[in-house]
Amino acid sequence: MTSKLITSLVRLIFLGIVAFFLFFPDKLSIKFDYPYAGLVDNFYVRLAKATSLLLILIELLRMFYYGVIKNPKGNKIITNIATLGIMVVWLVGILEIAFMFISQSHEGDLSKASQIWFAKYWKPITPEGYRDFPKSNPEQKKKILVLGDSFAAGHGLENTEDRFSDQLEKKLGADKVAVYNLGVSGSDTRDEFERLQKFPVKPEVLVLEYFPNDIEKAARDAKLTLAQFQPYDDIKMPGVGSLVMRFYLPNYIYWQFPHMPPASITDFVQKSYTDTTILNPHLRDLQKIVDYARQHNAPMYVVMVPFLQNVEKSNGYTKPIEEFFIKQNIPVVRLSEYLESIPAKERIVGKNDGHASAKVNALIAEKLYEKMRQSPQALK
């Protein structure tokens, strides 16, 4: 019996080293590198973690069996404590393994669950790095480019066909138009213009999706920055933050609660749009996109997406942007005008993710389609 306990202990030490390598690679100056590392949590890395943890649990159970169950001289109190302990350890261990495969979209990609979500749903990816399908016979179709950030890319939507770009293509006829989705999470106006210039397909129609934080780089030039939340810094117990960052069950629980003051983004946006030293350079950035569309004789449309949980304030912030486009005779879909028909909770993809739901995307596609039908020369 003693020999069995010793062999189990040796195996447990070895498995512990493997688990430390998998869960704490940064402590060993090791980095797991794979496509889109940092955005997605690789399935095979998670599988290796789950396997190592399961083997550790089995080895602990084996040690309990030979050290407690098969020990007739064991103290009854110690036996009861050990029995309770092994049950708790197994319960927590199994839950940890289960949460390695549970996905949930969040505002960004900071949580383990959101990285699993991206690994599961953020596809297909084009050679240019966009979440989109390759187009069939595009040379025979009208080319529509949808430019924007995570709202255009469909953050939080499991199916790409739920995005307004894909729904617009269906409405216009996939046999007549090819809609290219150039949405990138975290993108702002300057980044969008650079990507538009680099994209190999030139627009025959250009749709710009605009969100209030698109002014960020212009604000940064004026030394106004959005307060960056450092995840896990709000955990004051030494060492606990490091564990929450690495293990899936506590990480999931942690991200079910808000950790960044909602006032930070609204304060930033309000200051940005009321400061002409920020607003005017931002308008010049937008003008570059307008000029690019005109250079290619591409009719342009703009979708103004507000903060979906604070629509009225969004309207006030971005009113100068709407006026900028309207003065240039560019059709604007002011989404806030049509959101009353959708309950607030149904506008977003989830309680931890404020991106537009499939219903809101359908609404955008419908209103864009109506705008385009009002000027049929755009689609000839």
Q: What is the pLDDT of residues 243-258, one digit of tens each?
A: 999 999 999 999 998 8
pLDDT greater at residue 314 or residue 202: 202
Q: What is the dihedral of CA 307, 313, 316, 322, to 10 degrees?
A: 20
In a domain, 27, yes or no: yes
Q: Which whole number is the average pLDDT over 315-339?
A: 93
* Domain match, 317 and 222 both: yes
* Domain match, 175 and 75 both: no
Q: Which whole number is the average pLDDT over 349-353?
A: 90
For the chain, what is the HEC assignment? CHHHHHHHHHHHHHHHHHHHHHHCHHHHCCCCCCCCECCECCHHHHHHHHHHHHHHHHHHHHHHHHHHHCCCCCCHHHHHHHHHHHHHHHHHHHHHHHHCCCCCCCCCCCCHHHHHHHHHHCCCECCCCCECCCCCCHHHCEEEEEEECHHHHCCCCCCHHHCHHHHHHHHHCCCCEEEEEEECCCCCHHHHHHHHHHCCCCCCEEEEEECHHHHHHHHHHCCCCCCCCCCCCCCCCCCHHHHHHHCHHHHHHHCCCCCCCCHHHHHHHHHHHHCHHHHHHHHHHHHHHHHHHHHCCCCEEEEECCCCCCHHHHHHHHHHHHHHHHHCCCCEEEHHHHHHHCCHHHCEEECCEEEECHHHHHHHHHHHHHHHHHCHHHHC
* Domain match, 22 and 149 both: no
Q: What is the pLDDT of residue 380?
A: 66
CATH code of the domain in which 248 resides: 3.40.50.1110
pLDDT at 76 over 90: no
pLDDT at 369 over 90: yes
Domain count, the chain: 2
Q: What is the pLDDT of residues 151-199, one digit of tens each?
A: 999 999 999 999 999 999 999 999 999 999 999 999 999 999 999 999 9
**Contact by Cβ (8 Å): 246, 24:** yes
Residue 310 structure tokens: 């604070």
Average pLDDT score over the chain: 92
Instruction: Give the Cβ contact number of residue 369 at 10 Å.
Output: 16
With CA atoms as reference, report the closest residue to 241 among 250, 254, 232: 232
* Domain match, 263 and 348 both: yes
Cα distance between residue 174 and residue 151, in whole Å: 22
Q: Which whole number is the average pLDDT over 217-245?
A: 87
In a domain, 190, yes or no: yes
Residue 323 structure tokens: 């006026």
Q: What is the pLDDT of residue 379?
A: 67
Q: Which residues contact 371 (CB under 8 A, 6 or more apart)?
A: 301, 331, 333
Percent of the chain surpassing pLDDT 70: 97
Q: What is the pLDDT of residues 38-64, one digit of tens each?
A: 889 999 999 999 999 999 999 999 999
Which of 67, 101, 135 is the C-terminal boundary of a domain? 101
Percent of the chain surpassing pLDDT 90: 72
Which of 69, 101, 133 is the C-terminal boundary of a domain? 101
* Domain match, 82 and 224 both: no
In a domain, 279, yes or no: yes
pLDDT greater at residue 224 or residue 326: 326
Cα distance between residue 256 and residue 106, in whole Å: 10
pLDDT at 2 over 80: no
* Domain match, 87 and 219 both: no
* Domain match, 131 and 96 both: no
311 burial type by CB count under 10 A (0-12 exposed, 13-18 middle, 19+ buried):
middle
* Domain match, 82 and 129 both: no
* Domain match, 31 and 136 both: no
In a domain, 112, yes or no: no
In a domain, 321, yes or no: yes
Q: Which whole number is the average pLDDT over 19-28?
A: 94
* pTM score, whole prediction: 0.91
In a domain, 250, yes or no: yes
Is omega for the bond preceding 124 within 30 degrees of 0, making it cis?
yes
Q: What is the pLDDT of residues 255-307, one digit of tens each?
A: 998 876 655 777 888 899 999 999 999 999 999 999 999 999 999 999 999 99
* Domain match, 308 and 211 both: yes
- Domain boundaries, position 76: 2-101
In a domain, 94, yes or no: yes
* Model confidence band, residue 378 (pLDDT cutoffs 50, 70, 90): low
In a domain, 92, yes or no: yes
* Domain match, 174 and 228 both: yes
Q: What is the pLDDT of residue 263?
A: 59
pLDDT greater at residue 138 or residue 285: 285
Q: Which whole number is the average pLDDT over 72-88?
A: 89
* Model confidence band, residue 5 (pLDDT cutoffs 50, 70, 90): confident
* Domain match, 79 and 178 both: no
Q: Which residues contact 364 (CB under 8 A, 6 or more apart)?
A: 164, 303, 305, 333, 335, 356
Any idea which of 107-116, 214-223, 224-233 has the lowest mean pLDDT?
A: 224-233
Cα distance between residue 120 and residue 122, in whole Å: 6
